[in-house]
Amino acid sequence: MNAKTEKLLSTLRLQPVVPVIIIDDLKSAVPLARALVAGGLKALEITLRTAAGLDAIKAIAEEVEGGVVGAGTVLDARQWDLAVKAGSKFIVSPGAGTSVLDAADQSDIPLLPGTATATEVMQVRDRGYTVMKFFPAEQAGGAPYVNALASPLAGIQFCPTGGISLKNAMDYLSLSNVVCVGGSWVAPKAMVAAGDWAGITKLAAEAAALRG
């Protein structure tokens, strides 16, 4: 196992659920991150789906003690560089495009590349990866599909993301080839907009208590 894989696994193993966060208002980034960390979810994926994403990563990296912030929805080398400069400790991509994989090869920051089929898993495996995102999890076949990959693709571990909630998280976490899951349910938009940080800490604590 190479150093970047070990670094990535040490982050993913901090908790059973990695929050997948879309920041619309930069002002909410730090209090939201603090609320999640207080509930036991230290590794935080901030997606680059909004204009506030990079600034949110920077603010959290600088101001949230105990948080390990990463960038999600990274699609190319330019976004990779911006995310790393903002303070990302890990990078997550919905797929495994050549641009992102090449950027990862030149960086000390670990990548969690996205896969959705056995062929994609094998292609990413050929690039040296043994830990991958499975996305979009529910739409791509759900827990039964991930479980079916365990025997023919032994040694590959997944972080399924997409359509996962408190209700079905254990379907994935109980699988031998799942290290954690990604989910947005721990930071509902309505609660973030209302500044209900105590409520979000409670949701985070529920998620942090899940175990396979």
- With tokens 């031998």, the residue in question is 176
Complete DSSP assignment for 86-108: HT-SSEE-SS--HHHHHHHHT-S
What CATH fold (topology level) applies to the domain 3-208? TIM Barrel (3.20.20)
pLDDT of 212: 57
Boundaries of every domain in the chain: 3-208
φ, ψ for residue 22 (rounded to 5)?
A: -110, 115
Report in angstroms the alpha-carbon separations of 194 from 23, 44, 64, 70: 14, 20, 20, 24
- pLDDT computed for residue 14 by the predictor: 97
Would you say the C-alpha torsion 13, 119, 129, 75 has a positive or negative sign? Answer: negative
Q: pTM value?
A: 0.97
Catalytic residue from among 4, 42, 89, 133: 133
Report the candidate in 137, 129, 136 with the shortest Cα–Cα distance to residue 113: 129
Residues 43, 21 contacting (CB under 8 angstroms):
no
pLDDT score recorded for residue 73: 98
pLDDT of residue 1: 73
Token pair recorded at residue 138 = 């529910």
Question: What are the E-state strand segments in the chain?
Answer: 17-21, 43-47, 68-72, 91-92, 111-112, 114-115, 131-134, 157-160, 181-183
Q: What is the pLDDT of residue 202?
A: 98
Active site residue 133: yes
Listed in sequence order, the residues at least 6 apart from 7 whose beta carbon sits closer than 8 Å to its beta carbon are: 90, 110
Residue 85 annotated in active site:
no
Distance CA(182)–CA(16), nearest Å, equals 8
* 34 alpha-carbon distance from chain centroid: 17
At residue 117, the pLDDT reads 98
Looking at 4, 45, 89, 138, which residue is catalytic? 45
> Per-residue confidence of the chain (212 residues) as pLDDT tens digits?
799 999 999 999 999 999 999 999 999 999 999 999 999 999 999 999 999 999 999 999 999 999 999 999 999 999 999 999 999 999 999 999 999 999 999 999 999 999 999 999 999 999 999 999 999 999 999 999 999 999 999 999 999 999 999 999 999 999 999 999 999 999 999 999 999 999 999 999 999 999 85
What tokens does 7 get? 């670094």
